[in-house]
Structure 1
């Protein structure tokens, strides 16, 4: 029988098949025609017992009968006879074979074979579209370096979970591998990636769909998982001995710093989930120095405060509400003004807002970088003004966040500001706090040498409370070392370990031809001890509070302090 001789029932079956073919344009990974009722109807009409789809990655694999996937599209549970086989060779040299098994002892008519051929062709189209969709998903949502999902897919899955009735059973985390830059240096990029991949697999072992792990970038990751897996997740965060390398048996302890957000029944905003988890991670890493922080109400209020500070930043800058106060640096040899540190202050209307109320918040975003250069510009403008008046200026140190270390043009930008105001380079020094990681340490070394090449001095602030202090000053050409107030406060107990350490830091600075300056000096007793130990440069309330521009101008005109001091 040919297709132009079909009866009404057969025409109905063909119509349904045509509709199935038309609908295949809506194929997705979770909703495709091979799973619809029409497939079952057609299979039953054609007296099929079973339909299987076999996929081979290549023709060679087909010859070796080494399939990459085998799926049963339909199975009646009845016995079958030899199949009708439909084979398609794809452009990428992969092969799809559709096998339609008639029920035992059934002989298909020519018409049924033609229908079956159309049916198999449709299934092939469906499979091809699914393969294409899968490839697109992998291209868009996959991190090919580690073989896990990307951040974009993580965002997608968070949105999907939030739309379900069980969303409150889930948590979202972001985490950063602890000092993994050291691992890169120790093992090399390729072997470090192997270790990172092995660590990622440990998380994947915990998860079942829709729980997933994704890579944000570099050594930063995210995860969506059920709360029942939280304890196991945290065990991995706190450290896991990872076996990496093919057949080498080498092991490496890897840990991370994480921020976690526990989704509640009222959570319906993906951005809120992501921002909260990231804020918790930042708090763990930079504020509390712990392995993990779970987002809570207190952190929520802090995040909201941070958002208000950030959202109003541009307006605050336009209104010139940020300004510089100058903390004098004084030589105890003659009580003479020898320099100053520019400190950022914020005056909003009649209210003076304390630095701790806005600096830490801006430190969590790139806004701090904008503020640092805003301050440098104002300091240079002030110095240029004093020079124009014929007032002899002193060197002013300006504070810069470690975030600038990721800016390849950081030093160029500093020079540009100085040259714009025609300020001699030797009148500005750049003040950094000690770095908190090996990666920052290496970047800092590079920046300091660039500054030195351009006649700009660098100051190491808060000496003794950061990363690898002795290594830092041994390898980096700092001209000034500042002893943190934490140590100065305890210096009057001359038998304490604290004071012994201060004495040796001062001697070391002298031997390395570095100027040593003590911060936070407030009493004559501290002055006397510092003099005895040979630290003759100080800053603090004993001599002066941080001065506004005009007050500091007056001090420049009268640079020697009263001898009674």
Structure 2
């Protein structure tokens, strides 16, 4: 090769090697320019066909990679087939008036095409590999891609002023069931596209899996992101004539000004647990990371860690809170409540029950409680005491357990307890699946002679269908809708209470008001026909020895 062509090939190879995308036509044009000029090429065209069957059709991509001057009829055609079955055709058009193409020039052009073809093929393989590595089957960028982008920002100390959100679309399975999976895919894509448009961030929202996403964006867009995740109308269907509201539970971490990047795991350890807390937090769907949240997480982990040993050592105690007939002060029943005595301190339930409800530990505690209640009942029966019905709480997490009734009856019958002395308190449910299983459980309890009560009625999104469809024995009205001293007859709380009591009486259900603390509330209960009360006006939760005095009739409450 002459010195000019050697320099041209070096330039050609350098340009391809330096480029991050050798499939970019602009990169190729710049790379091949010197070789084409020295070789008297007027034009270089490249044509792509996706497969051999399409060759010769209009279903193709054609690019002009070099053009300089007028060409004559002398053309070199070089056809290549890729490993993927595609066809690439390179066409060199001879410069009119230029030197004739000798074998040396033809070989030179063939060499250039071979190098270009191999390099393009390698880049295509890299793109395919990158797609599999960074993009999921639905076209969303994945967690691996998110991590590489954040690592890049962290390495340049560019995370300050950013915020990270990890979120789950709420009830998306129900959305798919309602509008169909195809439309579900569409509304998910549009919800994410709209979020990306709001943030304007170069890094796309990435999907971790299912309806689970993560994104990083400028912190000054937090309010907009919060609003979108709280609820956004998404249109779908033919000509977008239908719409649906989508929302998400989310954890958001705003990167502090003095934050020092310590690796992607540090960032994920802040935002992902925050999201999980939000998902289990009831109505607080979006939570921001804070040091207080970190301390809560550590406390929760400690409780979960020491729980098995505490259960083994029987640190959990049964306290009994009487249920009282407001007409004469007689005790008509009692609720078994859990207290935890650990390291000399009596821990109230609101400090550990919500933590145990985050996993199946609460189910273990529930079975522990019914076992200890049955032990006490057996002792009292053997001592000749007359007993009212004792109610025991069962977490919603039991509802999907097909063996719940079997395990419950094994415990009750092992202690030879008459079934009518046990009442199972169950909380309201939130999904159709839970509702069906709740009906199954309550029907099973009824068949076995065990009473069932709906606990905390009115505290959540109560449904009259819950009362109509499930054969309860008892409704326990949550203290949030029990009138207080300052309520008049037209207050929402009083109106709701009055009609819930009337409905229960008409349906033949026993009605109990929870959280009764004053004499005025007792008079309100009498006025509206709610005969049973539970609360501090009559009794605080009592340890076993004090409850035994109540069983023996010491201290009728008025």
TM-score > 0.5, shorter chain as reference: yes
Deviation at 1:490, TM superposition (A): 0.4
Q: Secondary structure at the match of 1:454?
A: helix
Q: Relative to 1, partners in 2 of residues 1:521 and 1:285: Cα closer, same or farther, differing over 3 Å?
A: same
Instruction: Tell me the equivalent position of 1:514.
Output: 509
What secondary structure is seen at the aligned counterpart in 2 of 1:328? strand
Residue in structure 1 matched with residue 125 of structure 2 by the alignment: 129
TM-score (norm 2): 0.77
1:372-392 deviation per Cα after TM superposition (whole angstroms, max 9, x unaligned): 332323322440464267446
The correspondence for 1:448, drawn from 430, 438, 445, is 438
Change (3 A) 1:509 1:311: same
Q: How much does 1:9 deviate? A: 13
- Rounded Cα–Cα distance in structure 2 between residues aligned with 1:465 and 1:387: 34
Structure 1 unaligned regions, length at least 5: 1-5
1:495 deviates by 2.9
Shift of 1:101: 5.7
Question: Is 1:195–1:245's contact at 8 Å kept on the other side of the alignment?
Answer: no
The 10-residue stretch of structure 1 (114-123 or 444-453) with the greater mean CA deviation from structure 2: 114-123
Q: Secondary structure, in 3 states, of the residue corresponding to 2:350?
A: helix
Report the CA distance between 1:56 and its aligned residue: 4.2
CA distance in structure 2 between the partners assigned to 1:419 and 1:51 by the alignment: 85
| 1:245 equivalent among 237, 254, 261 | 237
CA distance in 2, matches of 1:157, 1:414: 51
Deviations along 1:151-190, one digit per CA (max 9) or x if unpaired, are 5544554444433421224221133445556644543444
Shift of 1:448: 1.9
What residue in structure 1 maps to residue 556 of structure 2? Answer: 563
Match of 1:173 among 160, 165, 180: 165
Q: CA deviation at 1:275?
A: 4.4
Tell me if the contact between 2:164 and 2:216 (Cα under 8 Å) persists in the aligned partners: yes
Q: Please list every run of 5 or more consecutive structure 2 residues that lacks an aligned counterpart in the other structure.
A: none
Deviation digits for residues 448-488 of structure 1 (CA, Å, limit 9, x no counterpart): 21112322544322222311433332333332211122333
Q: Tell me the equivalent position of 1:543.
A: 538
Give the alignment of 1:286-435 within 5 angstroms: 287=281, 289=283, 292-332=286-326, 335-363=329-357, 365-366=358-359, 369-384=360-375, 386-387=377-378, 390-391=381-382, 395-404=389-398, 408=400, 410-413=401-404, 415-420=406-411, 422=413, 428-435=422-429
Match of 2:205 among 213, 229, 236: 213
Deviation at 1:136, TM superposition (A): 2.4
Structure 1 position 191 matched with structure 2 position 183: yes
Instruction: Return the offset for 1:541.
Output: 2.4
Of 154-163 and 533-542, the range deviating more from structure 2: 154-163
Report the Cα distance in structure 1 between the residues aligned to 2:339 and 2:183, rounded to whole angstroms. 48
RMSD: 4.5
Whose Rg is larger? 2
The DSSP-based 3-state class of the residue aligned with 2:195 is: helix
The C-alpha deviation readout for 1:191-210, integer Å capped at 9, x for no partner, is 34332332222123346675
Go from structure 1 to structure 2 and tell me whether the alpha carbon gap of 1:491 and 1:505 turns closer, same or farther (over 3 Å shift). Answer: farther
Q: Which residue of 1 aligns with 2:111?
A: 115
Residue 230 of structure 1 is matched in structure 2 by: 222
Aligned 8 A contact 1:80 1:101 in 2: no
Correspondence for 1:465: 459
Q: How many residues align?
A: 532
User: Deviation digits for residues 201-225 of structure 1, max 9, x if unmatched?
Assistant: 2123346675222334554433222
From 494, 500, 503, the equivalent of 1:499 is 494
For residue 122 of structure 1, report the CA deviation from its aligned partner.
2.3
